[in-house]
Amino acid sequence: MWDPVGIVSTFFNMGIATGFVLGALALLRPVLFRLLSPQQRVVLWTAVWLTAYLPSWYGLAGALSFLLPVGFRGWITPRTGAHGVPAYLPVAWDNTAANLVFPGGKAVELHSFYPVLYLLGIYVAGIVAACWYTGRQNKALLTQAGKGRILTQDDCLEGLLGLRDSDVCVHICPDLGTSFLTGKNKTSDLRYNVYLQQELPREGMVLVLLHEMGHIRLHHLFCKTAAGAACCLHWWNPLIWLGFRYFCQDLELACDRWVLAQLDRQQRADYAQILLDLAGGRPLLDAPLAFGESDAALRIRQAVGWKQAGLLRAGLTWAVAAVLLLFFTVAPAQVPFQADKDLAWKSYLQEVSSPPEGSSLLEEEEARMRESGLLSPRQELTGGWYRVEPVTSPGDAAREVTLWFSRSDGRWISTYYWWWGANDLYGFSRFFPSGSFRESAAPDLAGFTPLP
């Protein structure tokens, strides 16, 4: 059955989990900056961006958990929902009760659905606003770019970069704040569209065009689209935006390295000068599709100090990148949460303690025991206690609840309730195998709760 609230809650939970991972990557950035190349960091960022809105990605990550038994997501995932997505906000409710869970495992019972509903309403409204703002900015940018002309062979740039038979359309545009790259749009039917500033000198235009071609060769348009979708969906999370800031920096650094590998020594000096000349371009938020000329000082330092990496170093760093990717993306497939079992049992007790006929669970069990011969007409139950046990079986039925009943003659009777349907978070029902009642002496009731 389609549950819109459950779906929105799942996406909100993915935003929380992704924010934690991005925050960890931001804290480790000085180390990652030394260990990995910019393109390797881009791959790592992109894998994390996909976890912001693809539930199936968590299922795949859970299936790969055998490759790395310990991962960052295991530390921040106290409970999982469908597909193994972390469930900080409840994705299902048992009548009017559910648990809000924090990464450390602390649970807070929620007895009203409305605060969560209001929160999710604000969340959805923010998504709509973020998508509207991004769409408006994109439209304004493309409208400005539409005033330009398409590059022809007479401009002598196509031959330099081998664009003649490619699926790239180059536009020369006046009064453009920054050069940028998009996919197919209304200005051209080709797969990629590059928009260059008309005011650039010819040599600078060639280098900027080569830079945008680098983004195409490195598949950065897909990477940035993945990140932009995450920012629109999780606009409320500052860790998402912090990760986006560093991610965009790595996009430009990776593209710079690709360009520098194509140039000779003098051309690399010219490229560094172009970076200096174009410093202070439009901020990314004002031009969502632009690969902005930001972080010029860092990019110039990297360009001046660039050296071609050897094959051995490249192989080792890619191996490190693969391990880090697994560490930050692999997650446990299912994480049972004991507090949910306890809450479901409490809710069930409240239901059976006040049915229309006025009986209680204690009275119901007393009637069952009389039928089985454990209680004579002169005996009665004087009290009952229960304890919800930890999950002991991953199957569809797991023994979950132990009950003890005191009899008027001083003897005790125990029985078990079973969880039936482990895939249903709150699908609690009782199952009594034959001969499930057992007499004994007084038990240790430590950890048990009296029945209402």
pLDDT at 164: 54
Q: What is the DSSP letter of 113?
A: S
Quote the pLDDT of residue 289: 44
Distance, CA of 320 to CA of 417 (rounded, Å): 49
SS3 451: coil
Where does 85-156 show beta strands of DSSP type E?
Answer: 98-101, 107-110, 149-150
Distance of CA 85 to the CA centre of its chain: 8
Q: Taking the alpha carbons of 131, 240, 77, 84 in that order, is the dihedral positive or negative?
A: positive
Cα(15)–Cα(49) distance, integer angstroms: 10
Sign of CA dihedral 82, 87, 91, 95: positive
pTM attached to this predicted model: 0.76
Burial class (CB in 10 A: 0-12, 13-18, 19+), 115: exposed
Residue 416 DSSP SS3:
strand
Decide if 364 contacts 112 (C-beta within 8 A). Answer: no
DSSP 8-state symbol, 186: T
The pLDDT tens digits for 138-176 are 888 888 888 888 877 656 565 556 565 568 888 888 888
Q: Is the dihedral of CA 226, 229, 235, 237 positive or negative?
A: negative
| Cβ atoms of residues 259 and 161 within 8 Å | no
- Secondary structure class of 172 (helix, strand, coil): strand
Q: How far is CA 339 from CA 12, 97, 106, 107, 367, in A?
A: 21, 12, 9, 7, 30
Domain ranges of the chain: 4-146+210-329, 338-450
Residue-wise pLDDT for 101-117, tens only, equals 888 878 887 777 788 88
Using CB atoms within 10 Å of the CB of residue 375, give its burial: 0 to 12 exposed, 13 to 18 middle, 19+ buried: buried
Please give the chain's pLDDT, 452 residues, in tens: 457 778 888 899 999 999 999 999 999 999 999 999 999 999 999 999 999 999 888 877 777 777 887 888 888 888 888 778 888 888 766 555 788 888 887 888 777 778 888 888 999 999 999 999 988 888 888 888 888 888 776 565 655 565 655 688 888 888 887 888 888 877 777 788 888 888 888 888 888 888 888 999 999 999 999 999 999 999 999 999 999 999 999 999 999 899 888 888 888 888 888 887 776 544 444 444 454 545 777 777 777 777 777 788 888 999 999 999 999 988 776 766 767 767 666 666 655 544 444 457 788 788 888 888 888 888 888 888 888 765 554 444 444 678 889 988 888 888 877 644 333 444 444 545 444 677 778 888 888 888 87
For residues 254 and 187, the answer to whether their CB atoms sit within 8 Å is no
Single-letter residue type at 223: C
What local confidence, expressed as pLDDT, does residue 240 receive? 96
User: Beta-carbon neighbour count of residue 268 at 10 Å?
Assistant: 19
- End-to-end, the C-alpha distance of the chain in Å comes to 34
Q: Which two tokens stand for residue 253?
A: 């650094």
DSSP H or E run through 403: strand 397-407
Quick check: 341 and 400 in contact, CB under 8 A?
yes
- Model pLDDT for residues 282-305, shown as the tens digit of each residue: 444 444 445 454 577 777 777 777
Please tell me the predicted confidence (pLDDT) of residue 400: 65
- Per the structure block, which two tokens stand in for 434? 């034959």
